[in-house]
Every structure is written in C-alpha cells, then in structure tokens.
Amino acid sequence: MESPATETELFAFLDKQQITHKTHRHSPVFTVKEAQTVRAGMPGGHSKNLFVRDKKKNHALIVATEERKINLKCLADQIEMGRLSFASPDRLMTHLGVTPCAVSPFSLLNTLRQPGPDGPAIQVILDEGLLVHQLVYFHPLHNAATTAISPEGLIKFTRACGFEPFILPL
C-alpha cells in the first residue's frame, strides 16, 4: 500500500463526494470510555469499529453503536464467514492504513490505494441501530479528532470507496 491517506485527503474526498462533514478536535482517545469524555456538543450516534478476520483471511469491518455487545460467533454465522478473531495491528495497517485506535469506516479510503483491480476483500457491516441517528461520528484516520457525517453520507462514502455495505441488526 502507498502511504496511508491523511485527514486532509479524507476531507477532500468527502467534499468531492458532496458529503457534509464537521470535525471536532480533542486529545487522543484509545477506548470508547475515553471517547465518551471528549464528546460534549456531539449529539448523535457514536460507534465502535472492529476489524476482524477468519482463518481463510476473509476480512470484515464492523461499524456498530458503541454500546452494542458483539458476539463474534453469532456474527460470523450471520455474515457467512468462519470463526472470527480480531485482525492484528499489521493487518490493520496493511488493509486499512490505520493503527488500532483509529479504525473507522473512513479507513476504507486507504483501500483505494491498494494494488490490483479490486483492492482487498473486506465486508463492511453497518449496525442498523447506528443509522437511526441524524449524525454519526468516526475518527478521521487518527484518534485526536472525531468527524460527524449523516448516515446517508456514511453509506455514500462506503460505496464511493468501492464497498456495498451490509446493514444488519447487530
């Protein structure tokens, strides 16, 4: 993969897709609990984002409401993958161009830099419970800011990166 995309490149891509966005700066956060302490003035859906794989090296990016308990065994059956485990930091960087505390759907922008006609095979799973909010929030390729977009903007972004998201009740 080429060098990962920057926040500036992400915002330019969002602008090109005509996806409205607003970014809130804060100190770096490493857990959902820490993120909860820096989000004054950010009403809407906040997420946790998991990058998982099965033994056949199939990958999935799971974007769920932060309070959602994810049963990986049940989810594997639901999305027709083998037993799921969390992808390593090396796989995160290779496939999504981010570190563990910066995983978000915006990471899909980095898949456009992958060699080959199709880029990496990643299923994108969106929690339908997240999409009921007027705004949804994600890290913009690093964990020292949070960017708001509409659920429609999230779906449009995902498709512009070449992925058809699966919207599921997690």
Domain count, the chain: 1
31 within some domain = yes
103 within some domain = yes
User: What's the rounded Cα separation, in Å, for the pair 104 and 110?
Assistant: 11
2 within some domain = no
The first and second tokens of residue 9, run together, are 């490149």
User: What's the rounded Cα separation, in Å, for the pair 136 and 148?
Assistant: 5
Prediction pTM value: 0.91
Q: What is the band of 76 on the pLDDT scale with cuts at 50, 70, 90?
A: very high
52 within some domain = yes
- pLDDT, one tens digit per residue, over 52-70 is 999 888 999 999 999 999 9
Quote the domain boundaries for residue 109. 7-168
